[in-house]
Structure 1
């Protein structure tokens, strides 16, 4: 896409989703009635995590992995001393991580993207300081996001194990996946798109995803605007790398978060969910997303759970 084409698409999508210009963004479509209806998706009473295990090892896609430290009496030097310790002792943990990395599952809040000096809805970028974001932070979803999840499996549609890095998913493919899977994305849904990123990583090993990974074509977001979805999640980060838009490194992030007010879930994993959906011949489910309460944060580690 040229600079002009991207600008026109941004303007179009912002106009079509003007109803989502408030502080909750597209979550405005997720009404209490929609949540109640989503609960009726539960048939088996079985929960499935959509998050990948947190990574602690340096990898091409994770140069600054999370750090997990176990704390306790002499545990760093001689853990075996605990076997003979008398009385009560506590073992604790300390976790540090880069929330917006390319390996760990996380949620992007509406304050994550600044475009031409503003956040979503025209909020001034200066509301983000070195200490915290004073508007549109992840605190907006402190009560969680609960709704009807729909998984569209693009490798299944194409008959391949995964979409190769650099390739992209079109709006027509999202519609074709609906037809193939006999499911329909409706207003207020939490849309999940599988490109097979996690399966490829598991089978072939990690690679530099900042340079090359599969995702959506920017124009595919017209499908999301048409259906008024409330949230977008992917097993990559929804963008395609290299970028498909001239001069914009992460066009889907800009369009989804800034223009449309969509919270994003990046680097999920669907490999546990897909077999169950195949078995049940159902690709919709109740989904519960519970980010951490990080006042002023631009995102959060997250463990979305699908309940079938």
Structure 2
């Protein structure tokens, strides 16, 4: 592991600089302008090749347990309510234990997928779809229903705290394109076209050891310029154990620049608030950081996202 002390942070972007970056990434991602965005590259041949990543048959979750307790990062927790509890029923005959569940999908605690209709920027959705397609009844275009058949491909985990020799990145820290390239080298792999790229910043480990904090105000994530690395490699999904965006924002006038660039400009489905604390030790032990990954969102027609439990198959 390489320790990086007193690291210089990537520069803040002005609105004009962000606009130049946005237009460049949108132009480079024109091939991903359809309803499935960058998932267009996940052809049957690519999925079949990804199946070759399975060596041991071990499966590992990339999701955190659904959080039903309020906290500074979870003011509107998921609600799980039991219905028809056994003690309410007679002891003889057949009965069923039942429950109901509700969630704020795009919160700062639970693992979820962002559909391509989630980000509205300058009056449009990804691919120039008008924002009027998102109505009071839901999204009529680019919803999570576009991925009803699941997302299956080669997953790659780049572990940035491992690279830097720290347990986690502190809130406000940025992952640069150079970090991603250095993690590739340190982990002896190369991110390629059609990969599902997962970037660990250690958010979940910090939360587990120090307790939750106001992650909407302070969190580690990618610097917007790091999206150039993703465009170079033509990845089709970006996932992180935080929000993928750093807070406070590194971009003048744009609170979630990575979301704008990834979802709106590049057509990437995002996976936010995953957890890699189960996966990283397995990858370390096997000295292998790539795997078959299966992502199966709920079928929620017209929804902007879905709770999700991605599975790595090693």
Structure-2 separation of matches of 1:81 and 1:147: 46
Q: 1:36 aligns with which of 27, 34, 48?
A: 48
Structure-1 separation of matches of 2:267 and 2:307: 19
Q: 2:75 aligns with which of 63, 69, 76?
A: 63
Name the Cα RMSD after superposition: 0.8
CA deviation map 1:153-181 (0-9, x unaligned): 00000000000000000000000000000
Partner residue in 1 for 2:271: 265
Structure-1 separation of matches of 2:245 and 2:82: 35
SS at match of 2:135: coil
Partner residue in 2 for 1:165: 171
Gaps (5+ residues) in structure 2? Answer: 1-12
Once superposed, which parts of structure 1, at least 4 consecutive aligned residues long, lie more than 2 Å away?
79-82
CA deviation map 1:5-60 (0-9, x unaligned): 00110000000111001111011121111100000000010110000000000010
Structure-2 separation of matches of 1:286 and 1:154: 21
CA deviation map 1:215-273 (0-9, x unaligned): 00000000000000000000001000000000101000000000000000000000000
Q: 2:228 aligns with which of 219, 222, 228?
A: 222
TM-score, normalising length from structure 1? Answer: 0.97
Equivalent residues, number: 302
Structure-2 separation of matches of 1:239 and 1:107: 14
Residue 190 of structure 1 and its aligned partner are, at CA, apart by: 0.2
CA deviation map 1:59-115 (0-9, x unaligned): 10000000001110xx3xxx6455x62111111110011000000000000000000
Partner residue in 2 for 1:2: 14
SS at match of 2:138: coil
Structure-1 separation of matches of 2:17 and 2:99: 49
Alignment of 1:94-173 (within 5 A): 94-173=100-179
Structure-1 separation of matches of 2:19 and 2:125: 16
Structure-2 separation of matches of 1:275 and 1:255: 31
Q: 2:249 aligns with which of 243, 249, 255?
A: 243
Gaps (5+ residues) in structure 1? Answer: none
Structure 1 position 293 matched with structure 2 position 299: yes
Partner residue in 1 for 2:186: 180
Structure 1 position 51 matched with structure 2 position 63: yes
